[in-house]
Amino acid sequence: MARVALVTGGSRGIGEAISKALKAEGYEVAATYAGNDEKAAKFTEETGIKTYKWNVGDYAASKAGIEQVEADLGPIDVVVANAGITRDAAFHKMTPEMWNEVIATNLTGVFNTVHPCWPGMRERGFGRIIVISSINGQKGQAGQVNYAATKAGDLGIIKSLAQEGARKGITANAVCPGYIGTEMVRAIPEKVLNEVIIPQIPTGRLGEPEEIARCVTFLASDDAGFINGSTISANGAQFFS
């Protein structure tokens, strides 16, 4: 029987590429989104992948949504916690609302997504947790104190889950993308992209969403069973100390 994968924020950007790649590998895929109904409908029309709408920052909504996915597709074997937002500002201009919104989506959202799936994975003796963190969680980033805190927090989550889940056949890993050419990054003015951002990337280009998706399909596979609590950095050789 096909394994079932849940991808939060799975209908556009990096998540869209992950949903499509998992489907191509033979998984039954459920892709969630927050509010962009038009994009989600287009995505389902193109791919045949069913979408589900809930706010990952809301535990009750996540639990109910996950129960619906499991009723439709069967028990969830693979969780890709990908949904994320930015609310950037210099720290002295960052408001408590900007802090709380990013924490709720990017950090509490990971708890809310993984926690309802965890007991079933333990019972069945198999699970794959993959969190999409960021290079900025590894190195920090001016203007992103909130975002970097959540993405660094993701790494603490997967290292701890890896230790708790290891004997139950569950792995928990992270992928840390650098700059990937999604709508979010392509919206940066071309001059800034070409003169500031791309010169920082030794590979000389943005990453493609499909390059992150391939990391995810590998981490989800049986071949990756001994990789647990690890981080794959996919950033075009942007080294940092």
Dist CA 147 CA 42 (whole Å):
29
The interface mask with ligand NDP, positions 115-144, x = CB under 6 A, is -----------------x-x----------
Does residue 173 interact with ligand NDP by CB under 6 A?
A: no
- What is the three-class DSSP state of 80? strand
For residue 239, CA distances in Å to 21, 78, 128, 201 come to 27, 30, 28, 9
Torsion of CA 183, 186, 146, 114, to 10 degrees: 30
Cα separation, 171 vs 166, in Å, equals: 6
The reply to whether 234 sits near ligand NDP by the rule CB under 6 A is no
Contact window for ligand NDP (CB under 6 A) among 50-58, 118-126, 162-170, 188-196: 50-58
- Rounded to an integer, what distance in angstroms lies between the CA atom of residue 150 and that of residue 162? 18
Element (H, E) at 157: helix 145-165
Residue 47, interface with ligand NDP (CB under 6 A)? no
Give the residue, chosen from 29, 34, 129, 148, that forms a contact with ligand NDP under the rule CB under 6 A. 34
By CB under 6 A, is residue 153 in contact with ligand NDP? no
* Gap between the Cα atoms of 37 and 11, Å rounded: 10
Catalytic-residue membership of 147:
yes
Answer for which of 3, 5, 6, 11 binds ligand NDP (CB under 6 A) is 11
Minimal distance in Å, beta carbon 1 to ligand NDP?
27
Distance in Å, CB of 169 to ligand NDP, minimum: 26
Stretch touching ligand NDP by CB under 6 A, among 69-77, 78-86, 89-97, 193-201 = 78-86
Which helix (H) or strand (E) segment holds residue 234: the answer is strand 231-234
Q: Which of 8-16, 20-28, 70-78, 119-127 is the region at the interface with ligand NDP (rule: CB under 6 A)?
A: 8-16
Please identify which residue in 3, 4, 5, 13 interacts with ligand NDP, judged by CB under 6 A.
13
The answer to whether residue 162 forms part of the interface with ligand NDP (CB under 6 A) is no
Annotate 27-68 with DSSP letters as a single string: -EEEEEESS-HHHHHHHHHHH--EEEE--TT-HHHHHHHHHH
Return the number of the residue (136 or 228) whose C-beta is nearest ligand NDP. Answer: 136
Looking at the Cβ atoms of 126 and 215, the one nearer to ligand NDP is 215
Instruction: State the sign of the Cα–Cα–Cα–Cα dihedral 210, 102, 67, 35.
Output: negative
Q: Which residues contact 130 (CB under 8 A, 6 or more apart)?
A: 78, 79, 80, 81, 172, 173, 174, 175, 216, 219, 220
In this chain, which of 179, 215, 224, 236 binds ligand NDP, going by CB under 6 A?
A: 179
Residues at the site binding ligand NDP, with contacts judged by CB under 6 A: 8-9, 11-15, 32-36, 39, 55-57, 82-85, 105, 132, 134, 177, 179-180, 182-185
Q: Indicate which residues carry an active-site annotation.
A: 147
